[in-house]
Amino acid sequence: MPVINALTDDFHPCQVLADIQTYMEQRGDISGRTVTWIGDGNNMCQTWIHAAAQFNFTLRIACPAGFEPAADLLTRYAKHIEIGNDISVAVKNADLVTTDVWASMGQEDEQRERIHRFQGYQVSPQLMNLAKPDALFMHCLPAHRGEEVSHDMLDDPRSVVWDEAENRLHVQKALMIFLLEINQH
């Protein structure tokens, strides 16, 4: 029987499948594009690394020192990744900018320290202005306005977070059908 990874501490593939679907619906093929990840090198970031290799795009990662994704992933997928600490450099001419909360489930005790360490890693309309004019913004939700996103970013016309959230349902249904059908052959 197939096992679907709906979310672990290391990866979140169902979410990134929905994100890829959302990008394709809005802008077409993601191959050859530039995606920027801002924030913690967490399960979302690590899944975006896999997606960069699978779908052949460049992933720029901007995170504070000490919050990088797993070193083995950075080594294995080095040809698809650019990593640094400067969010302005990472966002420049990007096709897609995405982020996640600074403290994920199970990290509530670290919330205060993470807010301090992640200052300067907030996505805002002003930051998005450095990306391509038709760039999209995504967030896997729930978001903390005033932390990883400015108070107005989710409502910005470049934000597709609500389409992205809806696509989680569609992608996960499609994944279950796909896995059930391949097991019948």
CATH of domain 13-183: 3.40.50.1370
Rounded-to-integer distance, Cα 15 and Cα 171, Å: 9
In angstroms, the CA 86 to CA 160 distance is 24
Token readout for 165 is 């959230």
Q: Judge contact between 82 and 123, C-beta under 8 A.
A: no
The stretch 112-118 carries a mean pLDDT of 94
Residue 63 pLDDT: 98
Residue 36's closest CA among 173, 144, 139, 160? 139
Taking only the tens place, the pLDDT of each residue in 91-104 is: 999 999 999 999 98
Closest alpha carbon to 98 in 34, 28, 152, 176: 34
Read off the pLDDT of residues 133-171 as tens digits, 9 standing for 90 and up: 999 999 999 999 999 999 999 999 999 999 999 999 999
According to the model, what pLDDT value does residue 154 have? 98
Query: Other C-beta atoms within 10 Å of 103: how many?
Result: 21
**Nearest-10 Cα torsion for 49, 51, 52, 55:** 170
Q: What is the pLDDT of residue 44?
A: 98
Kindly list the domain boundaries of the chain, sorted by start residue.
13-183
DSSP string, 97-125: EEE--SS-TT-GGGHHHHHHHTTT--B-H
Residue-wise pLDDT for 15-71, tens only, equals 999 999 999 999 999 999 999 999 999 999 999 999 999 999 999 999 999 999 999
Cα 134 to chain center, whole Å? 18
